[in-house]
Amino acid sequence: MFALCSCGRVSLGLRWAPIQGWRIWIRWSLIIGLLVGFAITIGAGLILATAREIPIITLSPRQLPGRILTVCVSAPLQEETLYRVIVCVPVVASFGKWPAVAVSRVLFGALHFLHGNPSPENLVGGWFIAWAYLKSETVVIPLLLHNVGNLLVLLGQLATWYFLITVR
Interval 73-85: pLDDT, tens: 999 999 999 998 8
CB 162 within 8 A of CB 56: no
pLDDT for 5 equals 44
* Other Cβ atoms closer than 10 A to 121: 22
- In the predicted model, what is the mean pLDDT of residues 19-42? 87
Instruction: Yes or no: say if 144 and 80 are a contact pair by the CB < 8 Å rule.
Output: no
pLDDT digits (tens, 9 = 90+) for 93-127: 899 999 999 999 899 889 888 988 777 778 788 88
Does residue 3 carry a pLDDT above 60?
no
Q: How far is CA 33 from CA 9, 15, 94, 152, in A?
A: 29, 23, 30, 10
- Say if residue 64's pLDDT is above 80: yes
Question: Is the entire prediction scored with pTM above 0.85?
Answer: no
SS3 category, 125: helix
d(CA 29, CA 20): 14
Per-residue model confidence as pLDDT tens digits over 33-58: 888 888 778 877 887 888 877 778 89
User: What is the residue-wise DSSP string for 33-101?
Assistant: HHHHHHHHHHHHHHHHHTTPPPPP----TTTHHHHIIIIIIIHHHHHHIIIIIIIIHHHHHHH-HHHHH
